[in-house]
Chain A
């Protein structure tokens, strides 16, 4: 089964509110995590990443929090805008044989922003 999952498959917020999207992972040895945004019919776009030696990282209007104790990852979007409506995926870097690694993606959360 998948090692990365999401608590909420859908999230609906009002424009201007803050959004929080959650993700759980099971591999305590994972050392790198990414959040992607995927708009309908398009490929995923990188939003922000975080290494396991950090517990918080901020970008433009986005913040990723990593809680290694409970193996939980969250993406916070400040002042959510209609353009933020998309599916958001978390991904975890895992070993894939020998010295190779792969990203394992969660199922995704659909964020809908209401004007």
Chain B
């Protein structure tokens, strides 16, 4: 069966510090991968998606970047965090070339102080 992991589960970082969130998927090959941000009491905003290694599409301009160094690894980064980067970050995957059901990870709660 497929599983998706995210770490860390929670993170508190000062403004201006760097960020690296990691997501890995097991039990499937060549997945589409996604990063979402969810502000408190709000819906999910798609940040990045990837259809393959090294292929990243950005949905909204922001202070964050994403990379996919391996087929089942997706990383969300920032060089300098802003207060507005606080939120709940969710990684998801879907079957390659299927943009239907997405399977979500447990999320990372990021607080920028």
Contact = CB atoms under 8 A, between A and B. Distances in A.
Interface string B69-101: 000000000000000000000101000000111
Given A32-B100, A97-B57, A100-B51, A105 B109 contact: no
B109 to A, nearest CB: 7
B100 A93 contact: yes
Interface string B42-62: 111010010100000101000
Contact of B46 (A41, A45, A103): A103
A112 to B, nearest CB: 14
DSSP class of A's interface residues: helix, strand, loop or mixed? Answer: strand
Interface residues of A, number: 24
A42 B106 contact: yes
Given A34-B102, A41-B107, A100-B57, 17 more contacts: A34-B100, A34-B101, A36-B104, A43-B92, A43-B104, A44-B104, A45-B104, A46-B102, A89-B43, A89-B44, A96-B59, A102-B46, A102-B49, A103-B46, A104-B46, A108-B42, A108-B43
Interface of B: 42-44, 46, 49, 51, 57, 59, 90, 92, 99-107, 109
Contacts, number: 53
Nearest to B107: A43
Interface of A: 2, 32, 34, 36, 41-46, 49, 89, 93, 96-97, 100-108
B43 A106 contact: yes
A106 B100 CA distance: 16
